[in-house]
């Protein structure tokens, strides 16, 4: 109940006013059945604008830190993120990563619409970063279609590093469903999983017009990457349709 109250009454109207969202390709999202929505990740508000424009309820896998706070603030965060359709996952080690995939698979087995961010974390500078293979493994294990989603302008409405919201123009662009059935039985093959996630990220680059950097966003945030963008490539904005 709270999910729909936030979407249509408590939060959605404010977001619509601030971001004036423009939606393209929404017809690519089916009315029912399990689907993975694979989105680029520019701002916290990605997880709010995407559900705002999709008729079905979306469940996101969210880092467990959102749910483990203490005191009144911790209680409110747990309630709020649960209410808006997020499920906690622990990302601290390999066992936790597998548990997260198991949770995601159960949601898809129930026919849910699952939102995932292939980059694994928000972009630190608006560029598109190398995808992690968990999404690819999940798609191969379940056989469900992957729909790439380009979020554009959410980092203007919700600038990185700030909790303030500003006026801007958000575009949510849905690509064609991607079918990886040609790789049936190859889940767990790291070369195939890398090929699958690279294909998904390429579609995100094409849809968003972002510059692509061939390192993990988390590596750059931790100071392990190359912030110069020497390994970057770009598809012109006009190629994104």
pLDDT at residue 218, as a whole number: 87
In terms of Cβ atoms closer than 10 Å to its own Cβ (0-12, 13-18, 19+), residue 215 is middle
Report residue 179: phi and psi, to 5°: -110, 125
pTM across the whole model: 0.86
**Domain residue limits, the chain:** 16-220
Q: Which residue has the higher pLDDT, 231 or 1?
A: 1
**What confidence tens digit (pLDDT) does each residue in 37-61 have?**
999 999 999 999 999 999 999 998 7
- DSSP one-letter code for 187: T
pLDDT score at 170: 98
pLDDT digits (tens, 9 = 90+) for 66-118: 677 778 887 887 788 777 777 776 666 666 677 778 888 999 999 999 999 99
The pLDDT value given to residue 75: 81
What superfamily would CATH give domain 16-220?
A: Glycerol-3-phosphate (1)-acyltransferase (3.40.1130.10)
Q: How many CA atoms lie within 13 A of 127 on its CB side?
A: 23
């Amino acid at each position: 109940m709270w999910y729909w109250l936030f979407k249509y009454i408590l939060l959605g109207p404010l977001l619509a006013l601030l971001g004036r969202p423009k939606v393209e390709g929404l017809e690519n999202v089916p009315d029912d059945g399990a689907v993975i929505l694979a989105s680029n990740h520019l701002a916290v508000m990605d997880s709010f604008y995407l559900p705002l424009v999709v008729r079905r309820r979306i469940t996101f896998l969210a880092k467990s830190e959102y749910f483990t706070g203490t005191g009144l603030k911790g209680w409110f965060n747990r309630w709020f993120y649960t209410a808006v359709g997020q499920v906690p996952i622990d990302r601290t080690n390999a066992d936790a990563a597998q548990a997260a995939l198991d949770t995601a698979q159960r949601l898809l087995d129930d026919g849910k619409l699952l939102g995932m961010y292939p980059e694994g974390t928000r972009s630190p500078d608006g560029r598109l970063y190398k995808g992690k293979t968990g999404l690819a493994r999940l798609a191969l294990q379940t056989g469900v279609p992957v729909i790439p989603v380009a979020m554009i302008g959410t980092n203007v409405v919700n600038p990185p590093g700030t909790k303030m919201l500003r006026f801007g123009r958000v575009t949510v662009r849905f690509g064609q469903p991607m079918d990886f059935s040609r790789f049936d039985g190859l889940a767990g093959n790291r070369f195939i999983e890398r090929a699958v996630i690279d294909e998904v990220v390429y579609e995100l680059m094409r849809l968003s017009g972002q510059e692509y950097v061939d390192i993990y966003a988390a590596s750059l945030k931790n100071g392990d990457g190359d912030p110069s963008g020497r390994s970057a490539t770009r598809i012109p904005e006009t190629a994104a349709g």
